[in-house]
Amino acid sequence: MLLLGACSPQDASQPAAVGRQEIAIPTVVAQAKGFTVGALMSANVVYVFFDTQCPHCGRLWEASTALQNKVKFVWIPVRMGSPISVAQGAALLTAADPAALMREHEASLLAGKGGISASSSIAPEIEKSIAANSQLLTSFGAEGVPFVVAKNIKTGQTVSREGAMDTPALAQFIGLDL
C-alpha cells in the first residue's frame, strides 16, 4: 500500500492559483531557484518543490538518497507554512555544501527538533527567489509539498506529483529501474 502525504499552506489567506500554468520543465528551469544534489552530470533531472518544515518533504529527501547516484535532483525551497521556512530555505540556497546542510536539516526535522537554525537576516534577492518559487508552485495548481516534476526516463513525458513517495515508488514515477 502506498501512503501519500503532503503539507499544505497553514495560512488560508495565501492566494489560490488563478488559472493553472502548464507544468513544463523549461518553465521550472527558467523560473525556479534551487540547489542540486546527486548525479550532477546526469541528463535525468528531478525537480522537488519543498518546504523546510514539511516532514513529508523530509521523507522524500530520505527516499531520494538511494537514487542520487543515478539522477540529479534539484531541491526548490518554497514557503507553505511557517516563516522559518524562508530562513531555512535561504540557508540551504546559500550554503557552501547544500547537500550536507540538507542532510543535517532533514535529520533534525524528522527527529522532531525543527531543522537547522538559520539567520533571520536574509539577502533580499534570496527572499525574492523563495517567494518566486512559491508563486511558481501555486501557478501549477499545486496545493501541497513535496511537489515533484520530472521527465519520465522511459516515456519521455513530463510527470508531476504532489506528496511523498518511498524509494521504489519514486524510482517508478521517474521511470528508473532499481
Relative to beta strand 35-38, strand 45-50 is unpaired
Vertex 122 angle, CA 142 and 17, to 5°: 20
> What residues does each domain of the chain span?
25-174
* The pLDDT of residue 8: 67
Taking only the tens of pLDDT, the chain with its 178 residues reads: 344 466 866 443 333 334 578 899 999 999 999 999 999 999 999 999 999 999 999 999 999 999 999 999 999 999 988 889 999 999 999 999 999 999 999 999 999 999 999 988 999 999 999 999 999 999 999 999 999 999 999 999 999 999 999 999 999 999 999 8
Q: Which CATH architecture has domain 25-174?
A: 3-Layer(aba) Sandwich (3.40)
Joined grid coordinates for residue 144: 501541497
Give the three-class secondary structure for 39.
Answer: coil
Count of alpha carbons within 13 angstroms of residue 26, beta-carbon side: 0
* The pLDDT of residue 10: 44
* The pLDDT of residue 62: 96
- Give which of 177, 161, 155 is closest to 2, Cα–Cα: 161
